[in-house]
Amino acid sequence: MISELKILTGKRDSGTYLKECYCTRPFKVANVREERSDPVLRLMMMSSSPGMLDKDHYQLDITVAAGTALHLQTQAYQRLFNMETGATQEMRVRLQTGSTFTFLPHPLVPHEKATYTGYTNLHLANNCRLIWGEIITCGRKLNGEVFRFTKLHTITQVFSGEQLLLRDNLLMQPGVTSFEAMGWMEEYTHQATFLFFDTHEKEALNETADRLHRYLEEQPRILAGVTRTAGNGIMVRMLGHSGEQLFECQQQLAKLLSV
């Protein structure tokens, strides 16, 4: 099933509003902004489906208009069910001049024999701030499904104009790769990626990267690395044992960026 979600923000006075929204089953969008004075538009992306099924194809298209701020969140963990062909998600986000976008979704949970491919393209204009995350679990760990999925492939690209700033290509095939091997996951079962980009001309991120690193060093049972990228960005990779812990860490990293 092909499912679409399109969002366009608009600017009104000093705040952001939902200018256009189009979605097909199983998607729904809810405005979860608690204070009307909040200049940030806070939306929750919901689904009436328990997860992605075989041959599902999700298409997400988000435009954050100039001078607006959007915080998009998900409702629950994204389950990837038993599949023969596989499921695909394509996400394209365009940040116009002076806009801000935050998206830290709940973890992906691939069930046994799940096959999934995810493409994410993030396009930045000048004076933008982007916070984006992804968490991948080993599967239904408590049910004994640890790396029992067939294939999981995610490709994330960040652009400034036509210039490619970052390309993260993650391919996980349990039948091909031993995740316990040195240099791979070793004793860890969950992983997370956290990206932060700020295209304001004078924004220096060395101190910011150090602040994130100090926080991560204090977290138990997590192995993490922080690196600077091209285009005034920061990339964080985390390994852990709990999707909930990694999800909470990403929320805290986002809060540290506003300090």
pLDDT at 70 over 60: yes
Whole-angstrom distance, CA of residue 11 vs CA of residue 252:
28
Identify the CA nearest to 54 among candidates 25, 90, 85, 89.
Answer: 85
Average pLDDT of the residues in 208-227: 96
- Range 205-214 average pLDDT: 93
For 53, how many CA atoms within 13 A lie in the half-sphere containing its CB?
8
Mean pLDDT value across residues 38-48:
95
Average pLDDT over residues 52-67: 98
Tell me: pLDDT of 127 over 90. Answer: yes
Please state, as a whole number, how many other Cβ atoms lie within 10 Å of the Cβ of residue 9: 24
Check whether 1 has a pLDDT greater than 60: yes
Q: Judge whether residue 235 has pLDDT over 60.
A: yes
pLDDT of residue 259: 55
Percentage, residues of the chain above pLDDT 70 = 98
Tokens 């405005």 locate to: 31
Distance from C-alpha of 214 to C-alpha of 43, rounded to nearest angstrom? 30
**Strand bridging mode 151-160 / 108-110:** unpaired
Q: Confidence band (pLDDT; 50, 70, 90) for 209? A: very high
Name the pTM for this structure. 0.95
pLDDT at 202 over 70: no
Of 37 and 115, the structure prediction assigns the larger pLDDT to 115
Q: Tell me the C-alpha distance between 258 and 41, whole Å.
A: 17
Q: Is residue 181 scored above 90 in pLDDT?
A: no
DSSP 8-state class, residue 47: E
Confidence at residue 184, expressed as pLDDT on a 0 to 100 scale: 80
Assess contact for 120 and 154: CB atoms under 8 A.
Answer: yes
Q: What is the mean pLDDT of residues 185-201?
A: 92
> What is the number of structural domains in the chain?
1
Average pLDDT, the chain: 94
The whole domain housing 125 covers: 2-256
Residue 147 clears pLDDT 60, i.e. is over it: yes
Mean pLDDT of 208-225: 96
